[in-house]
Chains A and B, each alone.
Chain A
């Protein structure tokens, strides 16, 4: 087990380096000089040269990458062009707001999706099974930003029951979960974020459970005289690794998909920060946010792999 953990963690390191390389090159994908946005248009060639030297832009690109990586490893992601604040502060503030959404959306989506899928897989062909199959197709085809707009139209415009956008008058600093005047701002974004993972997860769970139920050992369990509940317990446990893999992926899509949902609800999270950075052409913030989100995704995948290997020791041997 220790060997497997060590090997899997070692494997994550080159991936993280690759991610940092892609994020670094984002600056060079941007058209024009990376300094163009910072410099005043009437700057002399001399000033530009000085600034270039100060930022290290006159060095060869591999050296620039190593310098940048050194800064990143010490937690320095540069300065935001639009707000002049350190990017790391902006990212941490935004991530804590996204985490707030995720703490509600992830358990909701995973518990609902898993339960629906498991019941449908155990009772194939019933009405619930059809419902799950239908929900799954809708879930994968639904543009979540549109779902957000529809929910706003229904609950905020027509029924006037819930606030449409934002985090409420207190802002993110004094946001209290237990206070309904704050918590009501969470309802619509959380529902929107959870919808797609519910569909995908219920479909995967249904397929995994149905597949395990067809295996020979289930017949043996029945022949042994185990009760239906005990059989279901075995089936669920065996279908878990497959479901967990999809849960890990969905967690990542929640992170990535939050960019659209947070834009719809103007929720000041990492996705909203990203879309603001795009509008302002604030490349350091864009780079920093994407780097942080994808490193979280890499870490999630690592954790999911380790959890999978705990549930199913066979994975360790491959």
Chain B
């Protein structure tokens, strides 16, 4: 209706007017705006923050020494004498071990992803930007690692090297490099074909400059979002390795390891045995939902 009515108006009405009074937000401001209006992501981001803070300030928060054993208070149920979450098979306080356990679990969740993001991302950008033979060599090599289910590859590498935190992290890093590389390669290949890369080259920009200013800006988004979704996978895989005896070694508190040793006592204190797994689950689901929220807010498609 308004369109037809507008046709009858004298032309002067269409003279340049002030822009409509809507605020136009920049990219990051709109991301922030969307995040602020996403209660689920905010709640789970708060949980992630709590878990991280608990791990960092573990010595201040833990009510007991996580290594202090006690013969008389072995395998006690919830709420036994100040031990809110009971005690484990050596009489150590479960809550304290849980809080300290977050340190190793978070470390093994974040470090492999970080290293794999740098190495895999770099390989992917190089492959995607160079194209041709270089790309084929890199991507076909990655395809070989895709032929292993991820748990199996992590177990194979850690199993052959003999466990320990360092070897566990190395195994997880090797598992994450191929998918990371593929995400970076896809994003780079898409950008490389765009006209403004051509324009930048025509104005005399070198390869390094083009990659730094024009390619990385477009690749970092998907790469970071994908990395954030890998953190939860990494936590799950790392505690799985510890559960199999391939990650953290006793007596260091670690959620996967605690689950594995407490499994023997399942008929004595069934619910205490399930607690470390609940910690893994809550951490993993929180990281997952925060990553999903970030992806939606940043409008990235993987």
Contacts and interface: CB of A to CB of B under 8 A. Distances in A.
A294 B149 contact: yes
Interface of B: 140-141, 143-145, 147-153, 155-157, 159-162, 232, 236, 239-240, 243-246, 256, 259, 263, 266-267, 270-271, 273-274, 276-278, 280-281, 284-285, 288-289, 292
A interface SS class: helix
Contacts of A146: 259, 274, 276-278, 280-281
B152 A256 contact: yes
25 contacts: A15-B143, A18-B143, A19-B144, A22-B145, A22-B156, A26-B156, A29-B157, A137-B285, A141-B232, A141-B236, A141-B284, A142-B281, A143-B280, A143-B284, A146-B274, A147-B277, A149-B263, A153-B266, A164-B266, A255-B152, A260-B151, A275-B244, A278-B245, A278-B246, A294-B148
Interface of A: 14-16, 18-19, 21-23, 26-27, 29-31, 137-138, 140-143, 145-147, 149-150, 152-153, 157-158, 164, 252-253, 255-257, 259-260, 263-264, 274-275, 277-279, 281, 283, 286, 290, 293-294, 297-298, 301
Q: Which 6 pairs show the lowest CB-CB distances between chains A and B?
A: A146-B277, A256-B149, A18-B144, A141-B285, A256-B152, A256-B151
A269 to B, nearest CB: 13
A261 B234 CA distance: 18
A149 B148 contact: no
Nearest to B159: A278
B266 A30 contact: no
Contacts of B144: 15, 18-19, 21-22
Contact of A158 (B244, B270, B292): B270
B244 A257 contact: no
Nearest to A249: B149
Contacts of B281: 141-143, 146
Most-contacted residue by chain A among B152, B270, B281 (CB, 10 A): B152
Contacts of B150: 253, 256
Contacts of B162: 30-31, 281
Given A143-B277, A153-B270, A294 B147 contact: yes
Contact of B266 (A152, A274, A277, A283): A152
B152 A290 contact: yes
